[in-house]
Amino acid sequence: MKGWILFVLLLVGCGGDANVAGNYSIALTNGDNGCNLSNFTPGNTTTNVGVTTVQDGSKVTMTVEGLAGVALIGFLGAGKNVFTGSVDGDDVSVESIGTKPNTSGNCTYTFNATINGTLDGDVLRGRIEYRAADNGNSDCSQVHGCLTYQDYNGTRPPQ
């Protein structure tokens, strides 16, 4: 009987969310450029991007550091190198809602970014997606529904 109770306790203890907290060194590979972003060439890579991840239960905050963080601020808006979201099991999903306005004719739009990934030990892999959020004007046909993405993988020191 004691063995059965121990087994049940072990099963209950196996559930829950992964600990994704830490300082990651990320490598990025540009994917499709459906939003026709300037200075974004599919297949190009960037290495050693610093990302600091803080976790409180299932809530997660990721901050992109260094030059990549500065580039995100320039692209998404002030303070938008910080992503918030959650972890569910080994999967993490965070987003940053852009505030920097862009225009094309009567179209006004911003870009939002979402980071989705899966933790395997001390390796985090996934995709960063950039999507335009527009005002629905017919001049928005170039950006409406567009998707530009980067695949990434990163490591942190062993936990």
pLDDT tens string 44-77: 999 999 999 999 999 999 999 999 999 999 999 9
At 37 the pLDDT is 95
In which band, very low, low, confident or very high, does the pLDDT at 15 lie, cut at 50, 70 and 90?
low
pLDDT > 80? residue 3: no
pLDDT tens string 89-113: 999 999 999 999 999 999 999 999 9
At 129 the pLDDT is 98
pTM greater than 0.75 (yes/no): yes
At 22 the pLDDT is 96
Distance of CA 148 to the CA centre of its chain: 13
| Contacts (Cβ under 8 Å, ≥6 apart) of 73 | 79, 80, 81
Report helix, strand or coil for 42. coil
* Domains of the chain, earliest start first: 17-155 (2.40.128.120)
Contact present, 40 and 31 (Cβ < 8 Å)? no
At 7 the pLDDT is 38
Specify the higher pLDDT residue, 43 or 1: 43
Cross-strand partners of 84: 61, 95
Centre a 10 Å sphere on the Cβ of residue 45 and count the other Cβ atoms it contains.
Answer: 10
At 159 the pLDDT is 77
Contact present, 148 and 142 (Cβ < 8 Å)? no
pLDDT > 60? residue 8: no
